[in-house]
Chain A
Amino acid sequence: MLKADNLHYVYTSGLIKTVKKTAVCGVDLEFFPGETVAVVGESGCGKSTLAKILVQQLAPVSGEVFFNGTKLTGMSWKNLRKFMGKIQLIPQNPDDVVDPRWTVEKSVAEPFVICGGFSREEISANVDALFAEVGLSAEHKTRYPHELSGGELQRVVIARALALKPELLVCDEATSMLDVSVQAFIVTMLKEIQMKRGLSLVFITHDLEAAKAVSDRVLVMYAGEIVEEGTNVFDRPLHPYTRALLDAARYMSLEVLVPEDIGELPYGFSGCSYYRLCRERTDACKKPQKLKDVSGRLVRCWKSK
């Protein structure tokens, strides 16, 4: 359904001394209808940049995004608008995306207004249905964002994302700031909505247990690259980085996970991006690593078998 080819994104900063930072580096991916995919990785590995590229908030430096066969990258804003409702982003912090001076009802109605072609009665009926779908009562409608709790506001944002009948929801750390019980509520609700509407979900998260609990397929990202992709990744991790992540999540080893001598990478190093921190590195890791198919699993490590 959504397909991305060789995505690259580079942040540049500074006027005189330009600093370039590669956030996403050669990502290929494909999402299928009705599936739940988790993208995991540490903070700063490019997960959120990837999410923004997928929902067309950022234009990639190079690479293409296709939605049902239509190329979205490079499309004019006017044409793109038709597709914007179909791919929606749910951000980490709901406060960032709702206008604090609007009632939440107005925020949820906004997509219909922008999209056009709805009468006032239709909009109000649609908004009521959306509020019911995310389990909010009618009295919540007239409130302002600061009068709602974090979980309730996140549900408002989900209601708005669902407004234009999306086919893909990208949840960027949508639950990582919430309590366990609220997180469980939001995730169960999203799964129910998915069953009912048949949409695809992408969970971008650093919470591995949550990723394991919800997803059919997992992508592990490190330094802008996908280092491992497949099903049951957490039961049998193949890439050393995935193993390190899992150990950390289970607090298995509290001693330092990195090798004694981290060292600086030589200029122009093109080998494995995890080389510096990998405990199992050898000289062969200094060569560029490609994604390798290991019985249905894609792993960016030459050692895996």
Chain B
Amino acid sequence: MSDVLLKVSDVSVIIPTEQGTVHAVDNATFSINKHEVFSLIGESGSGKSILGQAIMRLLPLNAMFSGKVELGGMEISALSEKEMQKVRGKIVSSIAQNPYLAMNPGIRVGTQVAEPMQAHLGMSKEDAKSRTCQALKYFDIIPPEVREREYPFQYSGGMLQRAMVAMGTAANPELIIADEPTKGVDVLKKRNIAAIFQKVASKGCAFLLITHDVGFARAMSDRIAVNYCGQIIEIAEKEPFFKEPLHPYSQALLDAVPERGMHPIPGPSPSMIEMPEGCRFHPRCPNKADRCLKNPPVVEINGRCVRCWMYA
């Protein structure tokens, strides 16, 4: 198993709030291979983004983390903040949901894109600048010499997103975590994002895509994980997953997609504070039985993982 890049084992994140404790991530275990595009899909509020932040060690201060994250054999969850800064941006980097919030509005775009190269690759200012121009040109930000001296507000949304990708890939990381890259973006721009991600992936970079856009995940990824209420309930290769999802929630989620007739999932999503006992999906599940009141085991079938009693 030398080609495993990221290994997440038993990661849990607990966030105490005034109303009670939120188990945002519950025993997440998965691994991403080198050069692989791995998608984490699920509804808003299911703890997908928190899991991404946990890997980057960018959790809110009051969140409690437990478990182990290994990146290329190095246990990054045990690193000190100072050592982590050397990993962030160099080996693993993230692309945030809203580029206007993720860029510093008072610093020129070129300076921000050059920052990881200067910090991690030890480049001089001039070298970094010429590399920045190349990177901007690679992502169709033309003319790069003019554009790199501009500020984020002078960019359009799509251009700024491309500049973010340029920044994320500046130091040639091995893994990119992209959090909801297509939220509220129209089809043509979605296609452009898919195209630039594929451009980056073809250079051998692995991706963790955190998204609720099932169509985008389908177009991009090699493997899919489904998240529900903080738990990963199914991990499967793309083709078999879309052909025949195993977990009842995955089935319901795919049936809600417009191509499959937009059938809503019955019942409300549970509150993250008072989670149902046993299987967290059982109040909404069409196949529920008494055994569902106990915690379902994670079953492995043909290389797929599913957390459901039906397959135990």
Contact = CB atoms under 8 A, between A and B. Distances in A.
Pairing of A with B: yes
A181 B253 contact: yes
A207 B212 contact: no
Interface string A214-244: 1000000000000000000000000000001
A209 B183 contact: no
A184 B262 contact: yes
Contacts of A207: 187, 258
B186 interface: yes
Interface in A251-287: 251, 254-257
Contacts of A177: 183-184
A256 B188 CA distance: 11
B143 to A, nearest CB: 15
Contacts, number: 83
Contacts of B261: 213
B257 interface: yes
B44 interface: yes
B105 interface: no
A169 to B, nearest CB: 17
B264 A185 contact: yes
Interface string B181-200: 00111111111001100100
A184 B184 contact: no
Interface in B255-274: 256-259, 261-265
Nearest to A251: B219
Contact of A182 (B43, B185, B252, B263): B43
Contact of A208 (B43, B187, B253): B187
B214 interface: yes
B188 A248 contact: yes
A184 B44 contact: no
B283 interface: no
A119 interface: no
Given A180-B257, A183-B262, A254-B195, A150 B187 contact: no
B252 A181 contact: yes
A214 B191 CA distance: 23
A256 B185 CA distance: 18
Nearest to A149: B45
A188 B262 contact: yes
B43 A248 contact: no
B14 to A, nearest CB: 22
A8 interface: no
Question: Most A CB atoms within 10 A — which of B185, B253, B258?
Answer: B258
A214 B219 CA distance: 23
B260 to A, nearest CB: 9
Could you say which of B187, B191, B252, B258 has the most chain A C-beta atoms within 10 Å of its C-beta? Answer: B187
Interface string A28-43: 0000000000000011
Contacts of B212: 179-180
B262 A206 contact: no
Nearest to B198: A254
Interface residues of A, number: 33
Interface in A175-204: 176-177, 179-185, 187-188
Contacts of A183: 256, 262
Nearest to B284: A181
A248 B44 contact: no
B191 A181 contact: no
A187 B43 CA distance: 17
Task: Find the residue from A207, A214, A251 having the highest chain B CB count within 10 A.
Answer: A251
Which of the listed residues A181, A184, A207, A247 has the most CB atoms from chain B within 10 Å of its own CB? Answer: A181
A207 B262 CA distance: 13
A184 B195 contact: no
Contacts of B73: none
Interface string B165-209: 000000000000000000111111111001100100000000000
A180 B194 contact: no
B278 interface: no
Given A179-B44, A181-B265, A188-B264, A43 B256 contact: no
Given A42-B187, A42-B188, A245-B188, A187 B262 contact: yes
A254 B43 contact: no
A43 B189 contact: yes
A248 B192 CA distance: 9
B195 A249 contact: no
A206 B43 contact: no
A181 B43 contact: yes
A10 to B, nearest CB: 21
A179 B43 contact: yes
Interface of B: 43-45, 183-191, 194-195, 198, 212, 214-215, 219, 252-253, 256-259, 261-265
Given A43-B189, A180-B257, 13 more contacts: A179-B212, A180-B212, A180-B253, A181-B43, A181-B256, A183-B256, A184-B256, A207-B258, A209-B257, A209-B258, A210-B262, A251-B215, A254-B194
Chain A to chain B: the 7 pairs with minimum beta-carbon distance, closest first: A185-B264, A206-B186, A251-B219, A209-B258, A248-B191, A184-B256, A184-B262
